[in-house]
């Protein structure tokens, strides 16, 4: 007697979701630049990609850190990811030093990276000027560790601000070089850089990037500062004497504020120029301060709630580190085999 067999209709193999990796250094209080250039996009991307978001503490010690501050900021960094909307059910969040594969792959990749190519990195040149008393080897090999972060997880896309573009390019070069010798080991990642917000500039010197390590707090908007503080800082932002709200060369301060306004409202520069036609900088700055404070309000409220729950945050980092370790080990063991390390 023949049995009835239910044959499932043929299904197309589900398309593999693309992978994303990105991170922020816990080297200062996170700024509007970090939010608009990177984290805001991380949130938007997590529904369509498998995402890993890391607090990159190994990178942070390339510049001298106060240990208690670094520890605190690491937890705060993770809390901020959650407060900004990264969902631990959807994305993996973890602390870089909890997953030893990063340092391990960095060593291997360092042997496939040229001294010359590292010497050309603008971040290395900038930071060695800023910290001339501590030009350490870690500062020099920083991009190798960053390449390891990205390549370990076979990331397809890396959402970052403009300043990190060169580091993604060297990551691609190293991955291509390695693949050229050993076959297809690494996915070649692409940068994902937002059109608006890729470079938010300092409020006190708008020719320079807004930076969390700037010693002058008036130069940046911190994601978690008070509403009044944000409005006050933007009111005092350096502009020019032209008194016309217009996006133009040489108007770095106004261009920067227009970028911030556009990032929060979605309005184009043309629309912003029309909106403030005939109005002075005072009105414009007040409006920028308002949309910025409004745009960050939910994040601030969420952060104030979440930061109190250390057990919850530590649970997220522990769970994230386990998942990241599992994924990273797959790549690392492949790499070890390819280069000829004896299996244990
Ligand atoms: P970090 O910590 O300096 O900055 C974190 C992210 O914020 C972006 N960013 C900005 N975007 C626009 N305007 C600004 N003023 C601004 N300031 C910072 C940065 O481009 C970045 O996306 N090397 C990285 C951290 C890192 C990383 C990685 C990133 C380590 N490993 C792997 C991606 C993938 C850094 O120093 O970011």
Distance 211 CA to ligand 1 centre (A): 10
Please confirm, yes or no, whether 125 is among the known catalytic residues: no
Q: What is the overall mean pLDDT for the chain?
A: 95
**Closest CA to ligand 1's atom 20:** 161
For residue 6, the model assigns a pLDDT of: 41
pTM of the model: 0.94
The mean pLDDT of 58-71, rounded to a whole number, is 97
Q: Which of 40, 199, 212, 251 is catalytic?
A: 212
Distance 38 CA to ligand 1 centre (A): 7
The mean pLDDT of 217-230, rounded to a whole number, is 97
- Between CA 20 and CA 139 the distance in angstroms is 25
- Between CA 341 and CA 344 the distance in angstroms is 9
Please confirm, yes or no, whether 323 is among the known catalytic residues: no
- CA atoms in the 13 A half-sphere facing the CB of 59: 25
Give the chain's length: 344
pLDDT in tens, 147-198: 999 999 999 999 999 999 999 999 999 999 999 999 999 999 999 999 999 9
For residue 7, the model assigns a pLDDT of: 42
Please confirm, yes or no, whether 209 is among the known catalytic residues: yes
The mean pLDDT of 24-29, rounded to a whole number, is 95
Asked if the model's pLDDT at residue 3 lies above 60, the reply is: no
Q: Which atom of ligand 1 is nearest to the CA of 27?
A: 2
């Amino acid at each position: 007697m023949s049995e009835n067999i239910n044959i499932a209709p043929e299904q197309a193999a589900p398309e593999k979701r693309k992978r994303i990796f990105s991170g922020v250094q816990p080297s200062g209080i996170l700024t509007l630049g970090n939010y608009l250039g990177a984290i805001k996009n991380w949130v938007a991307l997590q529904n369509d990609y498998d995402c890993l978001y890391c607090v990159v503490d190994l990178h942070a010690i390339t510049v001298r850190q106060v240990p208690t501050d670094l520890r605190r900021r690491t937890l705060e960094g993770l809390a901020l990811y959650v407060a900004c909307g990264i969902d631990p059910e959807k994305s993996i969040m973890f602390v870089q030093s909890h997953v030893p594969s990063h340092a391990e792959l960095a060593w291997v990749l360092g042997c496939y990276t040229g001294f010359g190519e590292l010497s050309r990195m603008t971040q290395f040149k900038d930071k060695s000027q800023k910290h001339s008393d501590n030009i350490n080897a870690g500062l020099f090999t920083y991009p190798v560790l960053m390449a390891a972060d990205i390549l370990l997880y076979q990331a397809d896309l890396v959402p970052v601000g403009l300043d990190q573009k060169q580091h993604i390019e060297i990551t691609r070069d190293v991955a291509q070089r390695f693949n050229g010798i050993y076959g297809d080991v690494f996915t070649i990642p692409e940068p994902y850089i937002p059109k608006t917000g890729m470079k938010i500039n300092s409020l006190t010197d708008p020719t320079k990037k807004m930076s969390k390590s700037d010693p002058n707090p008036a130069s940046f908007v911190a994601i978690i500062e008070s509403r009044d503080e944000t409005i006050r800082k933007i009111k005092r932002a350096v502009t020019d004497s032209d008194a016309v709200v217009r996006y133009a060369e040489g108007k770095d301060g106004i261009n920067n504020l227009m970028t911030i306004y556009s990032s929060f409202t979605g309005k184009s520069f043309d629309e912003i120029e029309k909106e403030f036609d005939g109005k002075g900088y005072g009105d414009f700055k007040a409006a920028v301060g308002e949309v910025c404070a409004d745009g960050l309000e939910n994040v601030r409220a969420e952060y104030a709630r979440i930061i109190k729950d250390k057990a919850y945050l530590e649970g997220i980092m522990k769970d994230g580190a386990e998942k990241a370790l599992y994924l990273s080990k797959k790549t690392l063991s492949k790499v070890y085999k390819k280069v000829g390390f004896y299996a244990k």
